[in-house]
Amino acid sequence: MNIVLLGAPGAGKGTQAAIVSQRLGLPHIASGDLFRQALEEKSELGLLAKSYMEKGALVPDEITVQMILQRISASDCDSGCIFDGFPRTVGQAEALGKALTDQGKAIDKVIYIKVAEGELLKRLSGRWLCRKCQTPYHTVSSPPRVPGKCDKCGGDLYQRPDDTEETVKERLKVYFAQTTPLLDYYRRENKLAEVNGKLGIEAVAEQIINALEPGGRIE
Ligand code: AP5
C-alpha cells in the first residue's frame, strides 16, 4: 500500500506517519527528514537543500524527485510506504505517479490532515524533535517524559531552525500556493480522504486508520 499524508507545515504529518508506519509495518518516507539527514552529513545534496529550507522555499522538483525515487527503490519499500511531505507540487505528484505506474504500482490513498492556520503556528513554535530518531514532541500537547530527551531513544531534543515565526509564515505561503493544488489533483483521482487534524493525536490516527480500511471514506 502506498499512502500520501498531505497537510500544511505543522498539521501533524510526521506525527501521524510514525504511528501509521508502525501500525501497518510500512516504512515512513519523509522528504524533509531526508534533506535534514543529508545536511547533517554535509553532503552536496544537503548543502544545496539548506539554501532553500532556511528561506522556507521548496527544493526544486528535479532534486527532490530524484532523492525520493532513489529512496523508494530500496527493498524495504517493495510492499509500499507512507509518504510524508512528498509530493508537494503537481510536478512531483506526476513524477511519482509515473514512476509507480512503471513498476505496476500506484498511490492507494491520500490523507489530507486539515488544521486551521492559527493552530499550525502554535504547534510549530512549541515543537521539539529528537536529533537521533526525529520523533516530534510539543511543549504543551506531547511533552517528553524527561525534558530535552527523547522518550523512545534517549536522543537530545532540538528546535528546527525553520520553525521561527518569519520562516513559518513563508512556509505557509508556499504551502497554499504550491501544495494545495494537490488536493484537487488527488480528489480528481478519487484518492483523497480528509481528516480533522485539530483533534488529539490518537483521535487523528484513528480517523486515518479508518480511512485506510478497504472501502474507507473518500472525499
Ligand atoms: P518538512 O520537514 O516536510 O516540513 P513541513 O511540511 O513544513 O512539515 P512539518 O515537519 O513542519 O510539520 P508536520 O506536519 O510533520 O507536523 P508534526 O507532526 O511535526 O519540510 C521542511 C523543508 O524541507 C521545506 O520547507 C522544504 O524546504 C524542504 N522540503 C521537504 N519536502 C520537500 C518537497 N517534497 N519538495 C520540495 N522541498 C521540500 O507536528 C508539529 C507539532 O505539532 C509537533 O510538536 C507535534 O507534537 C504537534 N502535534 C502533532 N499532531 C498534533 C495534534 N493532533 N494535536 C496537538 N499537537 C499535535
Compute the distance from residue 153 Cα to the ligand 1 centre, in Å.
21
CA–CA gap between residue 2 and residue 20 (Å, rounded): 12
For ligand 1, whether the C-beta of 27 sits within 6 Å is no
Instruction: With respect to residue 142, please indicate whether it lies within any of the assigned structural domains.
Output: no
For ligand 1, whether the C-beta of 164 sits within 6 Å is no
Compute the distance from residue 84 Cα to the ligand 1 centre, in Å.
8
Q: Quote the cell numbers at residue 141.
A: 500537547
Please give the angle made by the CA atoms of 153, 24 and 98, to the nearest 5 degrees: 110
Instruction: With respect to residue 144, please indicate whether it lies within any of the assigned structural domains.
Output: no
Instruction: With respect to residue 122, please indicate whether it lies within any of the assigned structural domains.
Output: no
Give the domain range for residue 67: 2-116+166-212
- The number of domains in the chain is 1
> Candidates 20, 28, 58: which one to mutate for ligand 1, based on the most atoms within 8 Å of Cβ?
58
Q: Quote the cell numbers at residue 7.
A: 497537510
Which residues are registered as beta bridge partners of 30? Answer: 84
Looking at the CA of residue 142, tell me the nearest atom of ligand 1: 46
User: Quick check: 80 pLDDT over 70?
Assistant: yes
Instruction: With respect to residue 99, please indicate whether it lies within any of the assigned structural domains.
Output: yes
Per-residue pLDDT reduced to its tens digit, 135-180: 999 999 999 999 999 999 999 999 999 999 899 999 999 999 999 9
DSSP per-residue letters across 64-85: HHHHHHHHHTSGGGTT-EEEES
User: Quick check: 215 pLDDT over 90?
Assistant: no
Instruction: With respect to residue 147, please indicate whether it lies within any of the assigned structural domains.
Output: no
User: Quick check: 132 pLDDT over 80?
Assistant: yes
CATH, residue 45: 3.40.50.300
pTM, rounded to two decimals? 0.95
For ligand 1, whether the C-beta of 163 sits within 6 Å is no
Instruction: With respect to residue 182, please indicate whether it lies within any of the assigned structural domains.
Output: yes
Phi then psi for residue 3, to 5 deg, are -125, 135
Under the banding of pLDDT at 50, 70 and 90, the label for residue 60 is very high
Instruction: With respect to residue 153, please indicate whether it lies within any of the assigned structural domains.
Output: no
Closest CA to 179 of 89, 115, 96, 91: 89
Closest CA to 186 of 211, 169, 206: 211
Instruction: With respect to residue 88, please indicate whether it lies within any of the assigned structural domains.
Output: yes
